[in-house]
Structure 1
Amino acid sequence: MGTHVIKMPDIGEGIAEVELSQWHVKVGDLVVEDQVLADVMTDKAMVDIPSPVHGKVIALGGQPGEVMAVGSVLISIEVEGAGNLKESDKPAPVAAKETPVAPKVEAVVESKPAAPRAAPVCQGPMVAREANERPLASPAVRKHALDLGIQLRLVRGSGPAGRVLHEDLEAYLAQGQSNASAPVAAAYAQRHDEEQIQVIGMRRKIAQRMQEATQRAAHFSYVEEIDVTAIEELRAHLNEKHGASRGKLTLLPFLVRALVVALRDFPQMNARYDDEAQVITRLGAVHVGVATQSDVGLMVPVVRHAEARSLWDSAAEISRLATAARNGKASRDELSGSTITLTSLGALGGIVSTPVLNLPEVAIVGVNKIVERPMVVKGQVVIRKMMNLSSSFDHRVVDGMDAALFIQAIRGLLEQPATLFVE
């Protein structure tokens, strides 16, 4: 028997050190070639480290959250034969799970809520939580639980730190329990336990980027309500006529189109600010970041060259990117390079939000939920569909008047949707 030593590989881009985010094995485990051993986090990406050999884990080189230098010992594996005690010249291959960290906000794919199911009496794996205890779960999972009529605090989470995943909801529904009084008793049981969760990996990067954005940029937020009755009627008409052949449209591609058209008159919003070099770079290409919530954190996949896309092209690209991001399949290029960001909480959009800038961008447009409200139109009280835009700007380089005019331009385009397509 021999020992095969795997060192922290050179991931490229001049990176000298990475953070060990998570182990997928422990001492004593048997591993096979290409099995993922660990996740490491660079400044831009989460990367899988697979095993180049079959063998048994005999030593781990670090703890989750530890910053390790490239070339340091990551893991030692007992193998048949002589092994490589001095380590071969080849580093461990890097499998591309590239999941870059995004600094922002919430889920992006708008969907109409499904009809709620009757709440299950007592089904599936359960856990007792305090009535006011908020279980860890993404907004998408919370929305799914709401649609299913499930009390999320009763569902046992199988994700990191007990995070509730979509599959946990399905397990809750699929696995019945015989004692119908158990959830009631469990729900009101006192709890005195505490849990400390180490902030590492993607969560640490998100925290660092959020803190950096709020410390460096002078955030200025502006909120305006928009009558989206006409654009929603147009969307419904297009879906009825072309949905089967071209795919269904959500509101997002219309918002992307509105950004593209408005930016023609406000190019200062489609920019990046290098505050160290004191240089603002305005870009002709509109690369719209669409902030997306996944089970591992917040990411911003990028719809590139939105200025050259049709509604259906934008819709298809948004859907593709959101799916890839949520499944951890988005590439590094797909998750970087945005020039302006669009963020939405979908059905959970609330009334007002204060989105945090995606540095080095200077503008982010936040979408709140659509509600029906009585409005006075030409002296008559009518029911209209209203939606707020809650947007933030870098006040160091964007004047408040320009920010307000920009949002008013978007408002005009959405309230008169024909103007979205007038060249």
Structure 2
Amino acid sequence: MALFTFKLPDIGEGISEAEIVGWHVKVGDRVEEDQPIADMMTDKATVEMESPVAGTVVRLAGEPGDQVPIGSMLVEIEIEVEGQGEVAAAPPPSDETIEAETPGEVVIEDNIPNSVRPEPVEGPSFSAALVQEQEAGFDRLSPNGDESDAPVLASPAVRARAKELGIDLAQVKPSGDRIRHADLDAYLLYGSGQGYGPAGRSARRADETVKVIGMRRRIAENMAASKRHIPHFTYVEEIDVTALEELREQLNAERGERPKLTMLPLLIVAICRTLPEFPMLNARYDDEAGVVTRHGSVHLGLATQTDAGLMVPVIRDAQDRNIWQLASEIRRLAEAARTGKAKSEELSGSTLTLTSLGPLGGIATTPVINRPEVAIIGPNRVVERPVFRGKEVVAAKLMNLSISCDHRVVDGWDAASFVQAVKKRLEAPAFLFVN
């Protein structure tokens, strides 16, 4: 037998270390060549690491949340040898995201006493399990691991958590196409009658300690830095989108094979047509160098909620796309973000961010700026209310539009004037299609 040391390879330019988001294996597991073994997060993206050899896992570098330097040990795997002092050849991994050969070294050991075997490392935490659920495959095995005529669809991470909690997955009612962590939480709260709490009192649940790691830690750090460095102010205006909604319904009725239009593509067109008049808003501020870069192209970030947390995929050159192209790109980027398939270049380089809570949009929002940008725009829920048109009272569809700005480089007058110009285009939709 021999030990193969799999060292963390260079997974990006300028990256010196990566965070362990979650393990796909534990000590004692048998792994095959190219089998996923860990999810590692850098400043730009989450990368799935695969085993370059087949064997048995004997040591892991740490727990979820730990930082691992590039070139240091990630996993030690016990492999079989063909002859004394010779190790079976193993081809390098084929992952296109890793250009260099996988670093690794082999130590020949005839026997490894049990007394020096590494202690097993605990499985992934709840937060890491969420990332595993997003990226790992799903099986249709019954709760005991055997095939069944009535299979339970759940990810390995959900199964592991259910086992720790002593929950029979066959008794859990899924809220969608598979059992998720939220379904386990509902089962803990309400038992087999999920969704129906005891009348007259609130359900009780045990305290839970969740380690802040991975995407959630990145979000926490970025939001804290934004509020710490940027003096925010927020301006909110009400917009009558009755005509815009009528136009949207007419376009959807004739869309054919094209994607269904939401409000967002029309709002993006209005933003892109207005920004040339207000270049101070489509900008990034390097506060250390004291330089504001006003961008000519609009690289629009879309704040997107995923199982792993908030991500911001970017529509490149949004000003050059029509409403149908924008609708397609919004759908593609949102799906890539939610399934963990967004590339690192699709998650960086935005010059202005748009954040929308859809039907949960509320009356008004005060969004936090995506630093180093200087502004973020948040449309709110469309509601129907009576309004005066002359002396008549009519029903109108109204929407509040919020904008938060960096007061160091954007004045309140500029923000208000920009929103008023956007409002003019949205309330008279013909202005969206004429110069």
Taking structure 2 as the reference length, what is the TM-score of the superposition?
0.76
**Is 1:187 aligned to 2:194, yes or no?**
no
> Equivalent residue for 1:235?
248
- Residue 167 to residue 5, structure 1, CA distance change in 2 (3 Å): farther
- Report which stretch shifted further, 182-191 or 75-84: 182-191
- Work out whether residues 39 and 47 of structure 1, in 8 Å CA contact, stay in contact via their aligned partners in 2: yes
- Residue 181 to residue 364, structure 1, CA distance change in 2 (3 Å): closer
> Equivalent residue for 2:45?
45
Q: Deviations over 1:235-281 (max 9, x none)?
A: 1111112x223332111110110110110211111111000000000
After superposition, where does 1:21-40 map in structure 2 within 5 Å? Answer: 21-40=21-40
Tell me which amino acid in the other structure corresponds to 1:56: T
- Work out whether residues 220 and 394 of structure 1, in 8 Å CA contact, stay in contact via their aligned partners in 2: yes
> Equivalent residue for 1:223?
236
Q: In 2, distance between residues paired with 1:225 and 1:182?
A: 46
> Equivalent residue for 2:263?
251
Q: In 1, distance between residues paired with 2:266 and 2:373?
A: 21
- Work out whether residues 11 and 94 of structure 1, in 8 Å CA contact, stay in contact via their aligned partners in 2: no
- Residue 342 to residue 361, structure 1, CA distance change in 2 (3 Å): same
Q: In 2, distance between residues paired with 1:240 and 1:394?
A: 40
Q: In 2, distance between residues paired with 1:203 and 1:320?
A: 23
* Pairwise CA distance, 1:85: 11
> Equivalent residue for 1:153?
none
Q: In 1, distance between residues paired with 2:46 and 2:390?
A: 55
> Equivalent residue for 2:217?
204
> Equivalent residue for 1:106?
none
Q: In 2, distance between residues paired with 1:185 and 1:360?
A: 42
- Work out whether residues 9 and 94 of structure 1, in 8 Å CA contact, stay in contact via their aligned partners in 2: no
Q: In 2, distance between residues paired with 1:284 and 1:232?
A: 30
Could you tell me which runs of 5 or more consecutive residues in structure 1 were left unpaired when the two chains were aligned: 98-135, 138-155
Q: Deviations over 1:24-63 (max 9, x none)?
A: 1101111111111111111121111111111111111111
* Pairwise CA distance, 1:186: 7.8
Q: In 2, distance between residues paired with 1:72 and 1:272?
A: 36
* Pairwise CA distance, 1:170: 3.2
> Equivalent residue for 1:79?
79
- Work out whether residues 48 and 96 of structure 1, in 8 Å CA contact, stay in contact via their aligned partners in 2: no
Q: Secondary structure at the match of 1:246?
A: coil
- Work out whether residues 298 and 352 of structure 2, in 8 Å CA contact, stay in contact via their aligned partners in 1: yes
Q: In 2, distance between residues paired with 1:404 and 1:160?
A: 52
- Residue 319 to residue 271, structure 1, CA distance change in 2 (3 Å): same
**Is 1:396 aligned to 2:403, yes or no?**
no
Q: In 2, distance between residues paired with 1:365 and 1:289?
A: 10
Taking structure 1 as the reference length, what is the TM-score of the superposition?
0.78
User: Which of 170, 173, 177 is the equivalent residue of 2:177?
Assistant: 170
After superposition, where does 1:52-91 map in structure 2 within 5 Å? Answer: 52-81=52-81
* Pairwise CA distance, 1:79: 1.0
The structure with higher relative contact order (CA 8 Å, sep 6+) is 1
Tell me which amino acid in the other structure corresponds to 1:414: L
> Equivalent residue for 2:371?
359
* Pairwise CA distance, 1:369: 0.6
- Residue 306 to residue 167, structure 1, CA distance change in 2 (3 Å): farther
- Work out whether residues 55 and 79 of structure 1, in 8 Å CA contact, stay in contact via their aligned partners in 2: yes
- Work out whether residues 289 and 340 of structure 1, in 8 Å CA contact, stay in contact via their aligned partners in 2: yes
* Pairwise CA distance, 1:305: 0.8
Q: Secondary structure at the match of 1:38?
A: strand
**Aligned residues: CA RMSD:** 3.4
* Pairwise CA distance, 1:193: 2.3
Q: Deviations over 1:198-247 (max 9, x none)?
A: 00011101100111111111111111111000100001111112x22333
Q: Secondary structure at the match of 2:256?
A: helix
Q: Secondary structure at the match of 2:432?
A: helix
Q: In 2, distance between residues paired with 1:219 and 1:160?
A: 43
- Residue 335 to residue 160, structure 1, CA distance change in 2 (3 Å): farther
Q: In 2, distance between residues paired with 1:223 and 1:91?
A: 56
> Equivalent residue for 1:312?
324
Runs of 4+ in 1 over 4 A off after TM superposition: 82-86, 90-97, 159-162, 171-174
Could you tell me which runs of 5 or more consecutive residues in structure 2 were left unpaired when the two chains were aligned: 99-128, 131-154, 163-172
Rg larger for? 2
Aligned length: 360
Q: In 2, distance between residues paired with 1:30 and 1:280?
A: 53
- Work out whether residues 353 and 377 of structure 2, in 8 Å CA contact, stay in contact via their aligned partners in 1: yes
Percent sequence identity is 52
* Pairwise CA distance, 1:78: 0.9
- Residue 353 to residue 185, structure 1, CA distance change in 2 (3 Å): closer
- Residue 209 to residue 159, structure 1, CA distance change in 2 (3 Å): farther
* Pairwise CA distance, 1:191: 3.6
> Equivalent residue for 1:265?
277
